[in-house]
Amino acid sequence: MLFTLICPLLLVVSSFGFNIVPKSSKSFVNGEISNKMNFLKKLSCIALATTSATTTGAKIAFATSQDDAYIDSLKVLFMSEKLIEPIYDFTLAQKYDQARSNVRYTTDILQLQKKMTFLIKNSLDYVDDPEIIDSCSTIADSIGNTAVQVDGTIYALAFLPGDETGVLPPSAQKYINETKDYVKRYYDAIQELKKLGNEQQLTAAKSKATDELKKVPEKFFKK
């Protein structure tokens, strides 16, 4: 890289009448050799500075891309939070299909598990406390399973329909309680994973989530 940068500059030097190779003639004075050597040193410094600037620019571009992806993953936490909130109420209202749709929106559309894996892999660049990373890593690994448990208990309730007045059989209470417990675990996991972002990142992520949630159909929030 350095050779490639210097060569064109040397050609420019030659075009102005400088002979880079020292003359063997006695008429070639030491002062002229010294001037040419100093000139070549300056060219070398320019080439090195150009190479350094190019490399630094590449690193900055990469860092910006990583920052954006990190904030985008944090955004999914805020969106999932809002989609999880009405799940239990949907369940109590026996709107089982909608409750399960909310769960699947977080797992399939928002790809929560994938985004959390990304956060953990890149958290070392943003999180100073290793205990937070360790704790969140455990939560991220199991968050997909938590979602499955929420969905599973709601699915079980669909096979225990209520009577003419909508009253569920006594056996349904077990699954209602489990749904409440799993939804709380799911919601709490989201809150803990937010610790992977700093104040500035979380503010940016929340703002993006607010904009994105406007595009989600109202049925996902209307209890």
75-121, pLDDT tens digit by residue? Answer: 999 999 999 999 999 999 999 999 999 999 999 999 999 999 999 99
- How many CB atoms are closer than 10 A to CB 122? 16
Name 118's Cβ contacts closer than 8 Å, sequence gap at least 6: 69, 70, 73
pLDDT at 6 over 70: no
Residue 161 pLDDT = 85
Residue 16 pLDDT = 44
User: Per the confidence metrics, is the pTM higher than 0.85?
Assistant: no
Domain locations along the chain: 55-220
pLDDT at 160 over 80: yes
> Six-digit token pair at 75?
């955004």
Name 41's Cβ contacts closer than 8 Å, sequence gap at least 6: none
Helix (H, G, I), strand (E, B) or coil at 73: helix
**Rg of the chain over all Cα atoms, to the nearest angstrom:** 32
Residue 32 pLDDT = 53
Pick 62 or 136 by higher pLDDT.
136
Tell me what the mean pLDDT of segment 53-79 comes to: 74
- Label residue 206 by pLDDT band (50, 70, 90): very high
Determine the topology of domain 55-220 in CATH. A middle domain of Talin 1 (1.20.1420)
Pick 99 or 14 by higher pLDDT.
99
Cβ atoms of residues 180 and 88 within 8 Å: yes
Residue 38 pLDDT = 58
Between 40-54, 64-78, 164-178, 180-194, the lowest mean confidence (pLDDT) is in 40-54
pLDDT at 133 over 60: yes
- Label residue 164 by pLDDT band (50, 70, 90): confident
